[in-house]
Amino acid sequence: MIHGTHGNNYNHLRLTRLFAAVTAAISLLFALGCATPAGPVTTATEVIPTAEPTPEKEYTSMQLFEDTEFRNGFTIMGQNTVKRGNVYIDPEKPEGTGEKPSWMIAQWNSGPCLYRDRAESAQNIVTDGTIKTVTFDPSDRSISLRLNTIPYYDGKPGTTEKWPHLLLEQSPLDIDPKKPDDAEKLPYYSCSVDKMVVTLDIRMNDYKFVYVDGVNAAQFLSYYYIKSKDNKDFIWFGVPLFDNRGETGIYWALDTAGSNQMIYSIASTDTYKNSPHSLLNGAGEPIVSDEWIHVEVDIRPHIEALLELGLKEGKFKSAKTLNDLYISGVNIGWETIGSFDIDVQIRNFKLTGYIEKGAE
């Protein structure tokens, strides 16, 4: 009896230990997440909806410059702003197209007159032979503007009183706010347009500088003439393209060179915001290259900033909103002081007004 009782106790002990081991193993599996919990198994099949993409805005647009390929020649302005005569530099149209030139060549404070003192040259070149040269390339409809002020200053220092210029100008643009016939296209010239985009390709063909103690500045700029529709306000709105002194910031000041109007210029980093680089390298030195640099900048937000600043400082006589202002003209080219021989080439120079569809 003692032997039998001992055997039963032994078997009972073995079963108890086995049960404890199995229970411990199951507990461990649950702790490790390897066991399947009791109850029905559910699988997540619900798809979280994605946000609908914002549809691309659609616009109607209008090109605001005439003759962007320079087919109709140029009217040369004298240094007293009197029109001297027309020149035709497209070899395909040596006598012009029959259309009146849309573009003028301005040459203030720069010595010989490109019209009166025009030197003999190829059909596609207008030059005075020493200081100013305008060259048309028919292969890509581009224009280069070369200004050599080294012989003009002849070793003398530059002063801020007179800046030699070589510019292309189109003014007035083909718009008159007071003409009923222009009412349909006026919204594209208005500063209240949804986008106002400047585009061009640009490169620097040559850059030479002779240091003489004094003022030395070479600027290649484009200015847009912002006027109020009642003709009481005028602002020079600038988009800087090159300055030998370095990158430039926002500029807001009175023009004391003759017009006595306010100037607002955007920062050069905004001009080249969508470009691989500007015409200056990382060290601030001019980049002379055959590489075309594409420039594309929406100036509409900058015009809005200009209006806000002008209203805050009481600079406007009548304009209160962007719709009171419009683009009436443009110029692009060199303004210099000091001894430089500089050549910049441009093509596809355009200003396009965009209006969102449905907002017309």
Q: For tokens 């600079």, what's the residue? A: 315
Q: For tokens 């949804």, what's the residue? A: 194
CATH architecture, domain defined by 60-356 = Sandwich (2.60)
Residues counted in the chain: 360
Contact present, 114 and 160 (Cβ < 8 Å): no
Residue 186 pLDDT: 98
pLDDT tens readout for residues 176-235: 999 999 999 999 999 999 999 999 999 999 999 999 999 999 999 999 999 999 999 999
Between 18 and 77, the more confident residue is: 77
Residue 47 pLDDT: 55
Residue 259 pLDDT: 85
For residue 321, is pLDDT > 50?
yes
Q: For the chain, give the percent of residues with pLDDT over 70.
A: 85
For residue 27, is pLDDT > 50?
no
Residue 281 pLDDT: 97
Contact present, 150 and 341 (Cβ < 8 Å): yes
* Helix/strand/coil for 355: strand
Between 13 and 163, the more confident residue is: 163
pTM across the whole model: 0.85
Residue 48 pLDDT: 56
Task: Look up residue 89 and give its two tokens.
Answer: 């530099």
Terminal C-alpha separation, the chain: 111
Residue 18 pLDDT: 40
How many other C-beta atoms can be found within 10 angstroms of the C-beta atom of residue 158? 22
Contact present, 252 and 221 (Cβ < 8 Å): no
Nearest CA to 87 among 136, 41, 48, 51? 136
Which own/partner contact pairs does 150-154 have at CB distance under 8 Å and 24+ positions apart?
Answer: 150/208, 150/210, 150/339, 150/340, 150/341, 151/111, 152/110, 152/111, 153/212, 153/338, 153/339
Residue 226 pLDDT: 98
- The stretch 90-114 carries a mean pLDDT of 93
pLDDT tens readout for residues 32-87: 444 444 444 444 445 555 666 777 899 999 999 999 999 999 999 999 889 999 99
For residue 172, is pLDDT > 70?
yes
Residue 360 pLDDT: 62
Q: For the chain, give the percent of residues with pLDDT over 90.
A: 78
The domain spans of the chain are 60-356
